[in-house]
Chain A
Amino acid sequence: MTELSVRVTDLHIEFEVFSDRRAGLRQRLATQEGSGRRVIEAVNGVSFETRRGEAIGVIGSNGSGKSTLLSALAGLIKPTSGEILVSCEPKLLGVGAVLLNGATGIRNIRLGCLALGMSSEELDSKVAEIVEFTGLGEAIDRPLKTYSAGMRARLHFAISTAVQPEILLVDEALSVGDKEFRKRSRAKIESLLANAGTLFLVSHSTNEIERLCTRGLWLEKGKLLADGPIGDVVAEYGADT
């Protein structure tokens, strides 16, 4: 039996949100009601274990808690209750990743790698390789604000995988890239899995998930509806929608 990489036990994540119509200040001070605060259960009692070398596809409709689950696995969101244990700090790759918009691509690579805890010396020896991997060419010297969503995804993917992570969480970040980038990123992910890494992939493309993943998790309204071989889970999901 291979070693565990992630163990999630009865995970709950609640958000307090403001609805757009808020009551007046006087009313809010007088009564606790009408403050516009509501509690949303984004993840509601999810448990699972994953092992090294597994590739897990997370499927479910919009707002089912997939991205929240990945953020929590990455340690960016604190669970309301329950426990997440990991074998190594996971790296999250999302489309919304923000760096410095005014700075050039190459400077953003440096900043991103430093933010992830790379040392300056380590970075100097790696930066050429990262730039090469992005395949952005001379656009690497343009400010980030001139980049398209796909170009940003390339940049962020290159930063996040610069040091091969043991656990990689990918949130829709591959689908915005072009064919060339998808080929490169798939090669990188396959090498990660071959080296006993663990992949979590959130995507709306069940094709992509079936191609890359061996196991599926189906989330709906924060609850885990199915967990099993990817073919079965996708079929179940397809039958439901």
Chain B
Amino acid sequence: MSGSKALELIGEDLQALVAHVPHARAIGLVVVDAQPGQIWLRVPYADFLVGNPETAVIHGGVITTLLDNGGGAAVMTALDELRAVATLDLRIDYMKPATPGRDILGHCHCHKVTRHVAFVRGTAYHDTPDDPIATAAMTFMVGANRTLPGLVRGA
């Protein structure tokens, strides 16, 4: 991979990597940092994201959304042209419950891109990726359809 077309287009507006995704906006997903093939994100804690009211722990599906969206964005930043990206497969392992009241951070790394498929590893955590809440292994189709990612500036 030479340069990252997506990062070149958005400049300093890293939030544009997810701003075009309605469900990312719905859960308050924030891009913390990005570089070619990697992205760091955050989901602010909110009551409506809870999976089990007995424990107030955030739903595993929120972490799936965080890592799936981060995975797709990591693939976008790994490519030297804009291509449609679609999730093919996602395996998530839950290692410990998220702490009620705390934001969840995520890191996704696209470590390999082939002609049609990109491979990503993702980690969700509070303090450090060494102490994960969950990890994910994901594959994405590259050029899955004719749509291009809508990188909306300042959305």
Query: Is chain B a partner of chain A in the same complex?
Result: no
Chain B residues within 8 Å of A, Cβ to Cβ: none
